[in-house]
Amino acid sequence: MQGDISEIEEYVRKIFVESPHVEDPDRKKLLQNFWENHTKEVVDLSLELAKKYGADREIVHLGALFHDFSLAYDSEPHDEVSADKAFEFLIVNWFNRDVAEKVRDIILKHRCKKFIPETLEEKIVSTADAIAHFIPAFYKGAAEVAREDYAEMIRGKIDKLEDEYERKVFFEDEKKILKKYMKEFKEKYYYKISNKTDA
């Protein structure tokens, strides 16, 4: 028997959106924003890429859902802790060991730091995660909670985004899309702010 992915998605959503384990109201808002404007986006993008490139949709869906799961608990290193939590959750919920291991590997490799994606499914979630970091709503929500300037927050992330473009995007079509996003980000946030600062 195998768990129902829609039920698992609801479980992960509740951990972020309701965050019953979190007391701080600002942290709760941050986790809600993280679900709405990052995790959910990574799931949607991963499923689109899985369809486009013919990957295993179940493995991709589960890997995307759990890729940053431990951030809900403020646990680091989040890729390793998330991988362990996902593996344990899937085994307990009647997924076979092969599925649990593939999902664990997606999560361990999605940051392209300690481990590099090798399988199609691993490359898809890594790419989707990089693309999702270009969604302005994610930064807008985070800036509101942190009471920081939205544009300044994005400006501070430009180097990280460029690094992710180089390391984490494994498909030519998506590289072209991200190159365009990067140009727009720089024109809208980086250069505009630099000019204000220099004036």
Write out pLDDT tens, residues 72-93.
Answer: 887 778 889 999 999 999 999 8
Write out pLDDT tens, residues 106-161.
Answer: 999 999 989 999 999 999 999 999 998 887 777 676 667 667 776 676 666 777 77
Cα–Cα dist 88/111, whole Å: 21
Is the pLDDT score of 194 beyond 80? Answer: no
Mean pLDDT of 169-188: 86
Residue 190: band (very low, low, confident or very high) from pLDDT cuts 50, 70, 90: low
Q: Which residues contact 121 (CB under 8 A, 6 or more apart)?
A: 50, 55, 56, 59, 60, 63, 102, 106
Confidence (pLDDT) at 104: 97
Length of the chain: 199
Highest mean pLDDT among 71-85, 92-106, 161-175: 92-106
Is 129 within 8 Å of 65 (Cβ atoms)?
no
Mean pLDDT of 27-38: 89
Minimum mean pLDDT range among 1-15, 43-57, 59-73, 163-177: 1-15
Confidence (pLDDT) at 143: 66
Cα–Cα dist 84/22, whole Å: 21
Mean pLDDT of 52-64: 98
Between 187 and 59, name the one with better pLDDT: 59
Q: Which CATH number fits domain 5-198: 2.60.40.10, 1.10.3720.10, 1.10.10.60, 1.10.3210.10?
A: 1.10.3210.10
